[in-house]
Amino acid sequence: MLIVITGPTASGKTARAVALARATGGEIISADSRQLYRGMDLGTGKDLDEYGEVPHHLIDICPAGYKYNLFEYLRDFETVLADVRSRGRQPIVCGGTGMYVESVLKGIQLPPVPENPELRKALHGRPLEELAALLATMKTLRNNSDIDTPARAIRAIEIATYYHEHPHLKALTEPHPLTDAVVVGVMIDRATRRQRISQRLDARLEAGMVDEVRRLLEGGIAPDDLIYYGLEYKFITRHVIGELTYQEMHDQLEIAIHQFAKRQMTWFRGMERRGTPIHWLPWDMPERDFTQAVLELAKD
């Protein structure tokens, strides 16, 4: 049985997953699209001290500045999952990146797609709006991750074209939902979530989040590469390079995180509509009761 602990930012997912891992002798597999990167600690909320002796995977596996993608995540996830299970340990997925969580649960595979130099040359220089419109004729766009930059849009078109030309591979990308998984969401009311987000932001800024971004920039990572990661890295980078005052950075970032948490909840509701049941448990449920409730769900 695969156990998934998910929910919006600041809901306390990690602590719940760690308690569950301790109770089951389990290991945690991260489903967070930014905790993959080394040196990006405060900004991604790794809170590595929370894990203690509990083994965790898919954290700190890439250098900052790299652009990890869903294909790589699914590939690496399958490798880690097989390893955890081969040792008789309970795999516990923990994270709030809905696209990662849903793709794992749907059993989606993404065969490797080679570069198409001729197609790239033909699309080079076209405006993002035109590339997005072209991609929309080839696949359903459920979010903006494929069209946030021209380079990503061209790569998405390249992939869609390859699958069209190789229909036997396209079948692998269709959902084959897992039958041995239980998904638990940490439910937190909007007012409390907003309060916790604001408190956590201030705490991380006091802990040196601006200095973390400054070190990454001084280490040779281009500002645009950090801005690419969004949220903390977007707004703090803009502050460090002089585009925003500290107060402007703080206020805009706070708003952006609140909006991000709302989008996460929208994704989770979409997952439910698309056929993935999520068992929601209160964020302030006593630890022992939460763990017991998850174990009962896993028995069914």
Task: Look up the CATH number of the domain holding residue 61.
Answer: 3.40.50.300
Across the range 110-128, mean pLDDT stands at 92
Looking from the CA of 130 toward its CB, the CA atoms found within 13 Å total 6
Same domain, 195 and 81: yes
Residue 118, Cβ density class (10 Å: 0-12 exposed, 13-18 middle, ≥19 buried): exposed
Whether the per-residue pLDDT at 170 is higher than 90: the answer is no
Q: Give the model confidence (pLDDT) of 234-261 as tens digits.
A: 999 999 999 999 999 999 999 999 999 9
Same domain, 134 and 197: no
Band the pLDDT of 172: cuts 50, 70, 90: confident
Across the range 164-168, mean pLDDT stands at 87
Same domain, 67 and 197: yes
| Cα 69 from Cα 99, distance rounded (Å) | 11
pLDDT attached to residue 74: 95
Same domain, 264 and 187: yes
Residues forming a β-bridge with 3 = 92, 182
Q: What percent of the chain has pLDDT over 90?
A: 84
Whether the per-residue pLDDT at 133 is higher than 80: the answer is yes
Same domain, 28 and 73: yes
Among 52, 13, 55, 54, CA closest to 32: 13
Whether the per-residue pLDDT at 14 is higher than 90: the answer is yes
pLDDT attached to residue 9: 96
Same domain, 144 and 64: no
Q: Give the model confidence (pLDDT) of 65-74 as tens digits.
A: 998 989 899 9
Same domain, 237 and 138: no
Contact between 19 and 291 under an 8 Å Cβ cutoff? The reply is: yes
Domain that holds residue 161: 117-173
Same domain, 137 and 104: no
pLDDT attached to residue 50: 93
Across the range 76-93, mean pLDDT stands at 97
Same domain, 290 and 207: yes
Same domain, 100 and 207: yes
Among 114, 113, 89, CA closest to 28: 89
Residue 119, Cβ density class (10 Å: 0-12 exposed, 13-18 middle, ≥19 buried): middle
Across the range 263-282, mean pLDDT stands at 96
Same domain, 41 and 93: yes
pLDDT attached to residue 142: 63
pLDDT attached to residue 145: 62
Of the candidates 130, 147, 173, which is a domain's last residue?
173
Of the candidates 156, 173, 190, which is a domain's last residue?
173
Of the candidates 151, 173, 195, which is a domain's last residue?
173
Structurally, how many domains does the chain consist of?
2
Whether the per-residue pLDDT at 148 is higher than 80: the answer is no
Lowest mean pLDDT among 96-110, 145-159, 217-231: 145-159
Instruction: Indicate the pTM of the whole model.
Output: 0.88
| Cα 281 from Cα 20, distance rounded (Å) | 14
Whether the per-residue pLDDT at 143 is higher than 70: the answer is no
Same domain, 30 and 104: yes
pLDDT attached to residue 111: 83
Lowest mean pLDDT among 9-23, 149-163, 208-222: 149-163
Contact between 290 and 296 under an 8 Å Cβ cutoff? The reply is: no
pLDDT attached to residue 144: 62
Q: Give the model confidence (pLDDT) of 29-59 as tens digits.
A: 999 999 999 999 999 999 899 999 999 999 9
